[in-house]
């Protein structure tokens, strides 16, 4: 039976047991591996993904009520593989579907951010799915995102970007402004 | 006539593709990775995007690859741009242009709208069969090539500010890899590679040739 929250603190072994490194890795392409072998069952990946948390130091952990362990994430734990828009211009609402079929709507709490790829100079966009866990936009989805943007003057500067749920997310300066 | 066509299938070498076959091959050939001048450079081991600023966003644009369905085979309609334009003056290109806010991110709408504006081919006269991978140009454009088909007769009205003339090239010629030449030239001290397809005293080159090379690759998979 479940304990009342106040009595939980009395147990010296309170909290999940730490198993350290679990030997699980999420590769840059979003695939999950255990001991170097791909985890191909989507149900398994979805279950693990539901346990995924991120600590303030940036490390990734699978946490259940009783157990927890660290996993390696090469880039972002998720990929945004499909994009949906509702409305347009300043009234647009932008959503993504991730590789584990979660839907995230871009707003002030689920922000888009861009990182410059040092090798190519291209921008790599990420969207926050939940609690510091991000999905990287695939190139195809990023291109679709760029198609939906327009120029907006922000603080006296012409920036190219798009609106979602009432927040403007700049993507950068347009290579060839109008 | 019909008998002879039945007995010699495939002699047109690509001009005989049906609308359905082209649509199927386009859907199957779409790679989510996109294409572009940079990929060509990367494949050749060249430096990619020299001097590109990381906060620079490519300008979204769309073009129509207009297939014309003549009784004796398919052709592709191309435009020769006027010499005074700021972008790609005098070059051979597909009709098209940048996306406008009213397009709401829809490449097909943009490609058809621009085609109607530039060459007068009515939006309703074109059947869209699919699209090719996005093409990122070194000049900073993110081009979505939309493939559409129409039947003659074409009643074209050229926008003489942008378009000097239009002409047709047989599809079979454009997708024959024997006609695809890789050229190099010096740009700001660097050797830059690009595709070129010479045709009757003209040269189709750059992004337009790159997109045709992609089309050739996609359409060549019909035996699989």
Q: What is the mean pLDDT of each run of 10 residues along chain B (224 residues)?
A: 36 70 90 64 56 74 97 95 85 95 93 97 96 88 96 92 94 95 84 91 94 93 60
> Is the Cβ pair B105, A144 closer than 8 Å?
yes
* Boundaries of every domain in chain A: 17-73, 78-170
Give B34-220's CATH code, choosing from 3.40.50.300, 3.90.79.10, 3.40.50.1360, 3.30.1490.20.
3.90.79.10
pLDDT at B11: 39
Give A-chain residues touching B140 at CB under 8 angstroms.
Answer: 175-176
For residue A91, give the chain B residue with the closest CA. Answer: B104
B45 in contact with A at a CB cutoff of 8 Å? no
pLDDT at B34: 59
The values of phi and psi at residue A128, to 5°, are -80, 125
> Is the Cβ pair B55, A140 closer than 8 Å?
no
**What strands, in cross-sheet order, belong to the sheet with A112-116?**
A103-105, A93-98, A78-86, A133-137, A123-130, A112-116
Question: Tens digit of pLDDT for each residue in A98-157?
Answer: 999 999 999 999 999 988 777 766 788 999 999 999 999 998 899 999 999 989 998 888
Spatial contact of B96 and B143, defined as CB atoms under 8 Å apart: yes
> Is the Cβ pair A173, B52 closer than 8 Å?
no
Spatial contact of B14 and B22, defined as CB atoms under 8 Å apart: no
> Is the Cβ pair B57, A144 closer than 8 Å?
no
Q: What integer is the mean pLDDT of A1-18?
A: 59
Give A78-170's CATH code, choosing from 2.30.270.10, 3.40.50.1820, 3.40.50.300, 3.40.50.410.
2.30.270.10
**What is the CATH superfamily name and number for domain A17-73?**
duf1285 like domain (3.10.540.10)
Write the ipTM. 0.77
- Full-model pTM: 0.82
* Boundaries of every domain in chain B: 34-220
* CB-neighbour burial class of residue B145 (10 A; exposed 0-12, middle 13-18, buried 19+): buried
B104 in contact with A at a CB cutoff of 8 Å? yes
B140 in contact with A at a CB cutoff of 8 Å? yes
Half-sphere exposure of residue B30: CA atoms within 13 angstroms, side-chain side: 16
A59 in contact with B at a CB cutoff of 8 Å? no
Rg (CA), chain A: 19
pLDDT at A64 over 70: yes
> Is the Cβ pair A143, B142 closer than 8 Å?
yes
Question: Tens digit of pLDDT for each residue in A65-110?
Answer: 999 999 999 999 999 999 999 998 899 999 999 999 999 999 999 9
> Is the Cβ pair B60, A88 closer than 8 Å?
no
| Alpha-carbon distances of A99 from A70, A106, A128, rounded to whole Å | 21, 16, 14
Residues 6+ apart with CB under 8 A from B119: B77, B79, B95, B156, B157, B158, B159, B163, B166
pLDDT at B197: 97
A166 in contact with B at a CB cutoff of 8 Å? no
pLDDT at A178 over 80: no
């Amino acid at each position: 039976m479940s304990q009342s929250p106040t009595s939980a603190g009395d147990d010296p072994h309170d909290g999940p047991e730490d198993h350290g490194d679990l030997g699980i890795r999420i590769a840059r392409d979003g695939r999950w591996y255990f001991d170097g072998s791909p985890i191909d069952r989507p149900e398994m990946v979805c279950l693990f993904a539901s346990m995924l948390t991120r600590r303030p130091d940036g490390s990734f952990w699978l946490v259940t009520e009783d157990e927890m362990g660290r996993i390696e994430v090469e880039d972002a734990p998720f990929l945004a593989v499909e994009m949906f828009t509702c409305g347009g211009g300043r009234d647009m609402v932008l959503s993504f579907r991730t590789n584990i079929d979660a839907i995230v709507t871009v707003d002030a709490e689920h922000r888009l951010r861009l990182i410059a790829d040092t090798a190519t100079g291209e921008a790599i966009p990420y969207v926050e799915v939940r609690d510091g866990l991000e999905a990287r936009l695939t190139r195809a989805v990023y291109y679709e995102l760029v198609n939906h943007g327009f120029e907006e003057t922000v603080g006296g500067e012409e920036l190219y970007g798009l609106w979602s749920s009432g927040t403007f997310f700049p993507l950068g300066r347009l290579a060839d402004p109008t | 006539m019909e008998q002879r066509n039945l007995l010699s299938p495939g002699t047109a070498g690509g001009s005989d593709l049906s609308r359905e076959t082209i649509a199927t091959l386009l859907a199957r050939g779409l790679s989510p990775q996109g294409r572009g001048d940079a990929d060509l450079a990367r494949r050749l081991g060249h430096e990619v995007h020299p001097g590109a600023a990381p906060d620079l966003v490519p300008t979204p644009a769309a073009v129509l690859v207009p297939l014309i369905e003549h009784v004796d085979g398919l052709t592709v309609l191309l435009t020769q741009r006027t010499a005074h334009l700021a972008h790609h003056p005098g070059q051979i290109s597909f009709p098209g242009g940048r996306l406008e806010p009213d397009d709401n991110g829809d490449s097909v709408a943009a490609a058809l709208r621009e085609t109607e504006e530039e060459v007068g081919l009515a939006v309703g006269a074109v059947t869209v069969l699919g699209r090719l991978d996005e093409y990122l140009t070194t000049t900073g454009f993110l081009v979505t090539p939309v493939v559409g088909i129409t039947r003659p007769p074409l009643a074209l009205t050229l926008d003489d500010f942008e378009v000097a003339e239009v002409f047709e090239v047989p599809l079979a010629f454009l997708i024959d890899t024997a006609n695809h030449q890789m050229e190099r030239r010096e740009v700001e001290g660097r050797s830059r590679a690009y595709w070129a397809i010479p045709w009757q005293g003209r040269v189709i080159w750059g992004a337009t040739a790159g997109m045709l090379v992609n089309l050739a690759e996609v359409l060549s998979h019909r035996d699989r």
